[in-house]
Amino acid sequence: MKDIHELLDIRGKLDQWAQITIAKFQKELRRQKIGVTDELYNSFVSQVQQEHDELLGVVLKFKFYGRLRDMGVGRGLIAHARSLNRADRAGAAVGANVSYTNRRPKKWYNKTKMSQVYRLQEILGSDMGRDASAFVTDAFNQMGIQNIKL
């Protein structure tokens, strides 16, 4: 069992990491020019989950349609039709009457997410040793689509 000072120190580091990660996600949204309104940009929330004296994880939440934009689907384009859309785009370029949807993926999520996961491993690994790095790697391999859990 860890003393209260160690828990507060780790919790503070997790809070700081979450705020920096959210800022990086938001910066990438701006760089990619994703979103007309700032609804997605402002939807980021972080939570450090704790039960009694045990830190359970960090959860970053945001609107799910941000992931859809990352995948290049939505607004009339479904996931399995992306390959058809490529052929339709070529046909539309030469004047064919096709159902082309001008929707391409804007990759903003994965690169930022993984760089921040590795950074968190470094931060926690400096305090907790190699076991923490292995724990974080396993936890992130099991994470959901829009939540980051530790």
Asked, for residue 136, whether it belongs to a domain, the answer is yes
Asked, for residue 148, whether it belongs to a domain, the answer is no
pLDDT tens digits for range 84-113: 666 666 666 666 666 656 667 889 999 999
Q: Which domain holds residue 10?
A: 4-141
pTM passes above 0.75: no
Asked, for residue 57, whether it belongs to a domain, the answer is yes
Asked, for residue 150, whether it belongs to a domain, the answer is no
Asked, for residue 34, whether it belongs to a domain, the answer is yes
Are the CB atoms for 59 and 46 separated by under 8 Å? yes
Asked, for residue 149, whether it belongs to a domain, the answer is no
pLDDT of residue 85: 61
pLDDT of residue 22: 95
Distance between CA atoms of residues 126 and 124, nearest Å: 5
| Domains: count for the chain | 1
Q: Is 73 exposed, middle or buried (0-12, 13-18, 19+ CB in 10 A)?
A: buried
More confident position, 68 or 137: 68
